[in-house]
Amino acid sequence: MKISGNLINAYCICPRKAWLYSRAMNPYSEFDNLAIGRMISEDSYQRQKKEIEFENLKFDLVKSSAGTVVIGEVKKSSKGLDAARRQVLYYLFRLKEAGVEAEGEVLVPKERKKETVVLTPESEEELKNDIAGIEKVIKEDLPPALKKTGFCKKCAYNEFCWAEVEE
């Protein structure tokens, strides 16, 4: 399986979520939080190019700023900001491998937040560790053990993971 930005994001939040996602066990598409996220992405930043595909990646936004390509990732809230930041770093890493220098932004329109993301040698090393971790997790026959986090309650996989445990 080729690693995507969504897989990086999922892994940073929960390796189990990444394992499920890697098996095409996609969450219910009308799950409220997913639907709200799609609406925010569609309704925000009207003047910018949206959902640009590059290989197996899909960028929420692409713009040019002072002659620099800027990749934007739109999020519903800043709760998963670190995972979103690493997702954008992965996009920048893959673009760099293809010979395209770019910068990134994580955008949270409801909170009026914008964080600039720049690929550095240090963040590149962290990404390589994430990629190795993902490759290890998705090769396993069984998902990683359950581990309750602050993301579980609103996760689209919540029922899949916790239904039997909480009965």
The 10s digit of each residue's pLDDT in 138-162 is 999 999 999 998 888 888 888 888 8
Region 5-16: what's the mean pLDDT? 94
Q: Can you give 99-144 as a three-state secondary structure string?
A: CCCEEEEEEEHHHCEEEEECCCHHHHHHHHHHHHHHHHHHHCCCCC
Confidence of residue 54 (pLDDT cuts 50, 70, 90): confident
Tokens linked to 20:
């499920």
Position 109 scores a pLDDT of 87
Range among 7-11, 46-50, 157-161 with highest mean pLDDT value: 7-11
Model pTM score: 0.82
Structural domains in the chain, CATH included, are 5-160 (3.90.320.10)
Position 122 scores a pLDDT of 96
Taking residue 79's Cβ as centre, other Cβ atoms within 10 Å add up to 14
More confident residue, 24 or 106: 106
Beta-strand runs (E) in the chain:
49-54, 57-65, 68-74, 102-108, 113-117
Region 49-62: what's the mean pLDDT? 80
Q: Is the pLDDT of residue 40 over 80?
A: no
Confidence of residue 120 (pLDDT cuts 50, 70, 90): very high
Contacts of 37 (CB under 8 A, 6+ apart): 75, 76
